[in-house]
A and B are shown apart, each in its own frame.
Chain A
Amino acid sequence: MHIFNQAPDPKIVTRQNTLVFLLILSALAGFVWWQLSHHFASDLALQSWNKILTVFDAFEFRIENLSMLQPHIPLYLMIPFYYLPAEYGYIAPYLTSAFCSALLLALWNHDLKQRNYTAVQRGLLVLLVAIHPFFLWAMTGGAVHGLTLLVFYLFCIASIRLTKYADARAFLMMALVLISFFFVDELAFFVFIAFFPMVQLLVPRRMIDESPMAVYLLVAVPLIVAVLTWLYLNNVFASNAYEFLENPYGSFRGSWLRVENVEWLRLFGGKFLTPTLLAIGLLLVAFPVSIWMIWRARRHTKILAGIAILVLNVALAVGFGSASYYLSHPIEIMSLMVPGIMAALILMPREFNATNRFVLYVMLALSVAGGWYAMNWKPTHEMRNWLSMFTSGEKQPPISGTDEALGKWLKENRGVTLIDDNVAYRAIVARGDAKDLMVPFTKEFQLALRSENLTELNNLSTLSSIGRAESFKIEQVVVQNPVYSKYNESLASPEIDMLTRRYPNLYAEGIVKKNVKTEGATVTEKVNLENSEPIAVELVYDDHVNWRVWRFKYNEELHRNVVQCIE
């Protein structure tokens, strides 16, 4: 016996596994290319990419500018794409998702190999999973759900280890996965809530008998740490611990703001039992292979419990997601069944028998067909677009006309511009960069919202992080037609832009100076205000549907004087 003889886990990073990964990645990237060539671009993907652009092109890079309103890890993974040429940037969410999906399939292939599946069997299984529509939608839906699938697969693997050993490593794996899950996808919360009561069915009975508190503490604390972390970060960066829940643009609240536009929520929002039962039905339709698995595992109590917990976990998560007006469609959570089924196959006894193998392949093929059927049941706007890509071959533009036009105009007419990227993200992506754009996280934008009158914007002074006064010159303001936004179903967040909310007449009347108060102002402010009149403004862009751009006309000499005064 050697001192360092503890059997190590089989190596994951091997030449063969790398090759498999690259092959899968190529295939998935090919699908992404095909999809984008059909000009399908999800709003979620555009929003994500817009975040990267605005944060990296900002005067000062700060991670918190990604906002605390959505999980950060998918955004971090997209950062390398920022350095691609601007016109290809918007593919980042898709390629990131494809990368994670390829990683998931390669990892599964590795795990299947450990279970002695042959290369041909593995190839066939990987193919049958990869063409399942839930998998394809998760990968290419624009929300980097490929990463969610990967993390959920690891969650299932951790659960399997919990079932088999319930040792320290199993709990550490589970903790790591749960913390990561929370920062990858807000769905983690629903999955966890559904999973928590079933933990006792997973771990060995003796452990529950000895101390149920210990088991539940070990499972719950990681997620609690993650949530508390997020609350604290929200408090630090947004001065409100609950900002991520209260802000209308936050993804943690899912579709609650768009209930009227989402059929699923109109029917089942606020309900628990009906959507849960419906989810079970849909799962059986989309994954008949799960029925076969339950049949095959009927003599293996632990495996049977594992598969039942998986199905129940997903269905209950759909129930919780619907009850809290989060889900826009159950597929958002039901796609987790794909990695669930993959993990369950690892747990199952290997199918040596040719007949059983054949039945497995047939059931997986049936699942693919069932999946297509389930997707067509009450699809969302984006799902409809995505599905039409396959059926009609219709080519839709990735970014709609008015947004694209504004983006192109802004690209040509550069200058320091106030713009609310929560509604103008498509235009920003179409522009290709966010340089000189003052979006809501910038001090300039926040000063604009706090200003008495937008005419003050010709000179905004602010303090940098090292305490030096800096002065900015806002040149133009982009404003959205408040009427238009109410009727745009495709918008992920159909809100009126923040400038319009602060200055309701901005779209119609432009920048008008009113009731300037100099009382209580500092000398600098008085100089600024007194000398700022008259300011000429002009409408420089109007698409007559959605967007207008108002531009300041500055007295350059005056501006210089004010800057000197401030310094």
Chain B
Amino acid sequence: MNNGTGQNQGAPRLGDLLVSKGLLTQARLDEAIALQQSTGQRLGEVLLANGWVDPIEFYKVRDSQKVAPPRIGDLLVSKGLITEEQLGSALQLQKNWGSRLGEILIAKGYISAFKFYQVLADVNSRAFVNLMKDRPDEALLSADDIEIYSELLVLPWKKIDGVTYVATANPSDKVMEFARARFGEQVDFVVTSKFDILWELQINMGEVYSTNAVYQLARKNPENSAQRVFATWQLFGGVMIFALVLTALTLWPMITVIALNFSMALFIFLVFGLRAILAWVGSRRGIDVKVGDYQLSRLVDKDLPVYSILVPMYKEAAVLPYIADALRNMDYPLSQLDIKLILEEDDEETIAVARSLGLESTFEIIIVPTSWPKTKPKACNYALNFCRGEFVTIYDAEDRPEPDQLKKVAVAFSTLPEDVVCLQARLNYFNHNENWLARMFTLEYSLWFDFYLPALEALRIPIPLGGTSNHFRLSVLRRIGAWDPYNVTEDCDLGVRITQEGMHVGIVNSTTYEEANTRFGNWIRQRSRWQKGYMQTYLVHMRHPWAFYKSVGHTGFWGFQFFVGGSVLGNLILPFLFLMFLVYLFASISVVNLLTPIFPQYILYISLFNLLIGNGVLIYLSMVGAFKRHYYELMPYALTVPAYWAMMAIASYKGLWQLINNPFHWEKTEHGLTNANKVNKDAEVQKAQLSPQS
């Protein structure tokens, strides 16, 4: 009897083996053989359809029975789908990476995923199903299992003759265990491609994913969601303070103005003080060096986990090839990368470009259905459902991360305590010297990411994460509700929330280079969003100040007030200070004399300190930031930083207006405006022309 499982003549028969192992009685076997003869089915199919044998045990016995199962690599070569050389190369990579051969072949682009999975079905003696044509039975799908579907790459497909078939791109014991747990003993599987599963999930579960992406945090932890902009008491308190100030201004104008002036001066003084301390702490040698070259050199690729990368994009077709290149060049096993290009449903141009690029199967396109609010965090939340990595990170479309960043983070995560759940890479700009605005932006980021953030980590002050290159432990990220889709600086909020949850954020010594904004209007749009987001974050976490104080401690609490709160309020105060200074410098004596009474000596001293030493120190720190980055040519430009602060003030007022007027509006930053891309491309062409091979 040939039961179709590929056993050789002379080898013990499958039925006998099952009986000898006690998995089946002789009577059942006889009954099954009778059924087989009458229906023409395979023996295994009869046994599994009737639930007479445990599917897992059945496949184990069946597989052990095979004398020389055909190797998939050989099969692919024999079918002419890959060459011998490609197989050799993939096998070599397999030794290093420890991934499955199929994953490597697909990741390297040696074979299309569709063809590979067809062959995989053959190897498993199972049918290959194209889910786009042969859709699964929707009744079998459950919203409760959506995380398992994407993690195991499995979907319930159909129930035929009492047997529930699951479609999987990853045949394994885990898949069968899941199938049994959900559908009982009478289960079997068919093979499909990874893309079919993702496509089907998006078609069938899109609404669930979309709803979760928007409301998950608000439902789980409404107090941490910016869906409500102001808490009642905040609104009431704000109005009360405003009314009190107005009343005081009417009744005691001079004293009130002096008090306001004093408050501003003292606040700015404390903000300066905190920044000076942060710069000092952050200048400690190797403060954020968590992974050294030695550790990196000892790393074995086989030990690296699957790493998910989210690349949210909206109307950024122009920069798509660059980020694809950058990710391709990451020093990380391609087969262990799970890259999600997250595109909005209505962004047809980017979708078209993404498809036309013919990206390797490492890149998966996730189309986010249009829904409100249309923000980056919502898109990321949506895509998070499809992530399979142990870790996940975000890169913006214009990002160029250092190639070893993922490895460094993986090593750091493996050595750091479990409560360190997020690592932020340093951010900087590749077009740092393009124009004045780019220089200012670079000076700011060099100070922020190379000094301030490592110091915040060392002092255990909540870290406002940067918008990109923050790496998470995926399970924790999901547990805490991921990003707040209503917060327009969801990264900043998430960093604070992580600290509030009793976990830690670290800074890692690897840099991602971004595109600095080079146009004034574009910069204002971007910065106004950031400022609005900082306001949202501040308001959210100050809904329960005492609880926040208890959760982050006094250093964390006050650090948050003056770092996050200070960034916003400082910018809002700035125009008043500038104005007073200009009046003092240029107005007539009689006008200057009007200012004199509002500067009693104690305010005058603080204000003079802020003006001279405070600003002097900040300008100097900007220089030191550029120096640490070896951007020597930018250092003299630090002297013009006050003009940049004035721009920040404009953006802050715009952000404030939007917070009241249109709090969830996402001011889109246009990318791909830099000349650096063209310059780089020209350089590449030139390099290619000069190389001896050419």
Contacts and interface: CB of A to CB of B under 8 A. Distances in A.
A2 B417 CA distance: 7
Contact of A214 (B279, B289, B635): B635
Given A3-B506, A6-B284, A214 B628 contact: no
Interface of B: 279-280, 283-287, 289-290, 415-417, 420, 451, 457-458, 460, 504, 506, 596-597, 600-601, 605, 608, 612-613, 616-617, 619-620, 623-624, 627-628, 630, 632-633, 635-636
Given A2-B417, A233-B612, 4 more contacts: A1-B415, A167-B283, A217-B623, A229-B616
A169 B417 CA distance: 28
A172 B285 contact: no
Contacts of B632: 210-211, 213-214
B605 A63 contact: yes
A169 B286 CA distance: 11
14 contacts: A4-B458, A168-B451, A172-B283, A172-B624, A210-B630, A211-B632, A213-B636, A214-B635, A218-B627, A221-B620, A222-B620, A225-B617, A465-B597, A465-B601
A236 interface: yes
B623 A1 contact: no
A62 B601 contact: yes
Contact of A236 (B608, B620, B630, B635): B608
A301 to B, nearest CB: 23
A467 B633 CA distance: 51
Interface residues of A, number: 33
A332 to B, nearest CB: 27
Interface in A455-503: 465-467
Interface of A: 1-4, 6, 61-63, 165, 167-169, 171-172, 175, 179, 210-211, 213-214, 217-218, 221-222, 225, 228-229, 232-233, 236, 465-467
A6 B286 contact: yes
Contacts of A169: 280, 283-285
B624 A218 contact: yes
CB-CB nearest 5 A-B residue pairs: A211-B632, A225-B616, A214-B632, A169-B283, A229-B612
B612 A232 contact: yes
B669 to A, nearest CB: 30
A165 B619 CA distance: 23
Contacts of B623: 217-218, 221
A465 B600 contact: yes
B153 to A, nearest CB: 34
A175 B627 contact: no
A171 B638 CA distance: 16
Contacts, number: 89
Contacts of B460: 4
A536 B175 CA distance: 114
B624 A168 contact: yes
B620 A3 contact: no
B642 to A, nearest CB: 13
B279 A165 contact: no
A210 B623 CA distance: 16
A466 B597 contact: yes
A214 B287 CA distance: 23
A1 B627 contact: no
Contacts of A172: 279-280, 283, 624
B627 A165 contact: no
B620 to A, nearest CB: 6
A168 B283 contact: yes
B620 A2 contact: no
A168 B458 CA distance: 17
Contacts of B597: 465-467
A3 B601 contact: no
A62 B603 CA distance: 12
Given A63-B605, A213-B635, A214-B627, A175 B285 contact: no
B35 to A, nearest CB: 62
A6 B612 CA distance: 33
A213 B605 CA distance: 34
A89 to B, nearest CB: 24
B635 to A, nearest CB: 5
A2 B458 CA distance: 11
A6 B458 CA distance: 9
Nearest to A64: B601
Contacts of A4: 457-458, 460
A229 B610 CA distance: 11
A3 B457 contact: yes
Contacts of A168: 283, 451, 624, 627-628
A171 B284 contact: no
A524 to B, nearest CB: 21
Given A225-B620, A232-B612, A217 B601 contact: no
Given A210-B632, A225-B616, A465-B600, A3 B280 contact: no
B457 A171 contact: no
Contact of A3 (B279, B285, B286, B504): B504
A233 B620 CA distance: 20
A165 B635 contact: no
B420 A3 contact: yes
Nearest to B412: A1
A404 to B, nearest CB: 34
A204 to B, nearest CB: 13
Contact of A165 (B285, B289, B620): B285
Contacts of A466: 597, 600
A236 B290 CA distance: 49
Contacts of B286: 6
Given A3-B417, A6-B286, A169-B284, A217 B635 contact: yes
A169 to B, nearest CB: 4
A218 B632 CA distance: 11
Contacts of B608: 232-233, 236
Contacts of A171: 624, 627
B455 to A, nearest CB: 11
Q: Which of A1, A3, A63, A467 has the most CB of B within 10 A?
A: A3
A171 B621 CA distance: 10
B290 A3 contact: yes
A167 B620 contact: no
Nearest to B636: A217
Contacts of B628: 167-168
Q: Which of A63, A214, A233 has the most CB of B within 10 A?
A: A214
A217 to B, nearest CB: 5
A466 B597 CA distance: 6
A213 B623 CA distance: 12
A466 B603 CA distance: 13
Contacts of A236: 608
